[in-house]
Structure 1
Amino acid sequence: MTTARGLHAHVLETLGQRIVDGVLPAGTVVRPELVASESGVSRSVVREALRVLQSLGLVEPRQRVGTQVLPVSSWELLAPTVIRWRGASPAYFVQQRELLELRLGVEPVAAALVAGNAGASGDTGLSGDTGLTGDTGSPGQAVLLAARDMLDAWGREDSRAYLEADVRFHRALLTGSGNAVFTHFAGTVEALLRTRTSESRDTISRWTRDAAVRHEAVALAVVAGDAAAAGEAATALLRVTRDEFIAEAPSA
């Protein structure tokens, strides 16, 4: 039996995806009675879904007009839900490029901050070139362990484990920076990374050993406490990824 929450989620997903896909373009008036009839739900369920869409900037109620679809410029483009919808839409490659460009301005700074913290504390977490010692719960250690897990997953040809390690790597980098805004941005980055699991137009060619090694280079600089090297390695990592998406994007 479908619960009220399940009905709400279904209507929300359907309307949100249609708006993002352009099936319901900006200026369209969404009529709750028609949506309720089509979906087989009550108008109260539709109204609840519309309130969520309003909070995400996708629609807005207007007097004597009704609930109207808003243009992309009004959307909460960093909200994980919107990222997921755009990731399943024709805007997939556009979103990847836009957010990778944003990440180029954020993650290298985060990497430098984590490295600076590691250097200041004297906890490099390194034993020789590859071993780990010290507090395995430190931000630098979490970054390095995630990078090593990416390499391990590549060796086992486990794309799911590779993705999960990739998500942990970037989350640890952002949350370990000590910057509350960067920490908030971690959810955005995770949502963006996860859109690749269902995107048939995007191959997994970047889920390679070379990509994992680039992540490890960032991590090694972080745990060594070298802020400049960490920032440079993170910049190189993101630039390669951005350039790959640009090259792979379909022609207009």
Structure 2
Amino acid sequence: MLLALLMNCETVQRAEEVKRPTRANIGTDYSEVPSMLRGTIKQHVALMGYSSTYKDSYEPVIASGYGLVVGLKGTGSSDIPPQVRAHMIADLARRGIGESTRGWGDVTPEQLINSEDTAVVIIEAVIPQAATGRKPSRGNLRPDHPSLRGTLFDARVRAEPSSATTSLEGGYLLPSLLRTGQLTTGRSQTREIAFVSGDVFLNPFANPGSVGSDAVHRTSGRILKGGEVLHNLPMRLVLLEPSHTRSSLIQNAINRVFPEEFG
């Protein structure tokens, strides 16, 4: 009988070990926090912003894109790389340029780009983490009502480097989309997160050390509060030590201070 019991024991399989929660692998020991932050949420979490990597410091989102400045007085240029030209023609066509039913039938995208009164520009902007996107229209509010706007920001524009544009003074940037990541054209582009449009303002002050010449940098300028975020850029928190109870407490504390808004 003893021999039979021993043989049966050999056929019994051991249960797999249950994996225990482990500390979040964030690459840096964030448990050491300043004394002023001890006892706050920051003592127990690390920040993860719009990107998929852990960050424990402020890191803005850089967005960029191509756009077209119109209203120049013969200071623009059509000299741009072929891939940029193809990108701009396709983008302008999607916006209705060349279609009489949308109010732009008197000019084609090619004619608009070839005009010396326009210039293709590179747009760059810094968008803060946790920016809010445009809200959907509700009730009797107009789609452009201020309460529905996303986070507004300034943008910088500069003439495409290979063009012969001499000045952006007096120009107006047509609505243009901005994306994160490297500035590219074609299908490799990332999702758009904001758009920019508005009057181009040039810095009226001359560069230091310039004497006897027009030292104002006329091929770059800024669009003040002309950018608007389209989609929310969430600021996520990651617990340093897994805990359902602590996670629930932190969630409730944040929701009490920052209640969810409509949209």
Which TM-score applies when normalising by structure 1?
0.23
Structure (1 or 2) with the greater helix fraction: 1
Normalising by structure 2, we get a TM-score of 0.23
Larger RCO (alpha carbons 8 Å, 6+ apart): 2
- The structure in which a higher percent of residues are strand is 2
